[in-house]
Copies of this chain bind each other. A is one copy, B any other.
């Protein structure tokens, strides 16, 4: 539980950061398998600080409106490692497009076709971005001990998005023949 806490702890294990930077990284690098909102993030940072798992180091840098940089404390690292060792228990996904596909005999083939085409385009963009990220990562693979494992995550994204595109193609062909 409290998965947001572990994302924060994990990112801070790489380097000290502000809440804003954490959000940016999640939106950029985790976007194909994770999301967080500021409404979750900032309160989580406060709570982790209060509990001594992280600490605020560089507050109120010149210019910036009270910019707060957080750092991981030993206790935070310990809890992060404990969590990493626990079996994965939550695998939540909700794919609205499959729900719509399932009930789509109630609308025209063209309507459903539009949905699937939008789905394909989204995941084509995702795939392109992931392939770029992979190339970049491979060129600096020895720079950080974490990189080979991050590459496994990127490869997951690539593999799954390719599967999405395969399905989209088949489905568009099927719906096209119906229409």
- Residue in contact with A105 in the complex, picked from B97, B111, B119, B149, CB distance below 8 Å: B149
Interface presence of A95 (CB below 8 A):
yes
- Residue in contact with A10 in the complex, picked from B87, B99, B111, B149, CB distance below 8 Å: B99
Q: How far is the CA of A100 from the CA of B115 in the complex (A)?
A: 32
What is the distance, in angstroms, from A69's C-beta to the closest C-beta of chain B?
A: 20
Q: Mark A80-118, 1 if CB is under 8 A from B, else 0.
A: 110011011111111111111111111100011011001
Residues of B within 8 A of A146 (CB): 102-103, 105
Residues of B within 8 A of A145 (CB): 105
Which residues of A are at the interface with B, using a C-beta cutoff of 8 A?
3, 6-7, 10, 13, 30, 33-35, 77, 80-81, 84-85, 87-107, 111-112, 114-115, 118-119, 145-146, 148-150, 152-153, 155-156, 159-160, 162-164, 166-167, 170-171, 174
Q: How far is the CA of A80 from the CA of B111 in the complex (A)?
A: 14
Given known contacts A10-B102, A104-B149, A105-B149, A93 and B96 CB-to-CB distance under 8 angstroms: no
B84 touches A149 (CB 8 A): no
A100 touches B84 (CB 8 A): yes
Q: How far is the CA of A114 from the CA of B89 in the complex (A)?
A: 13
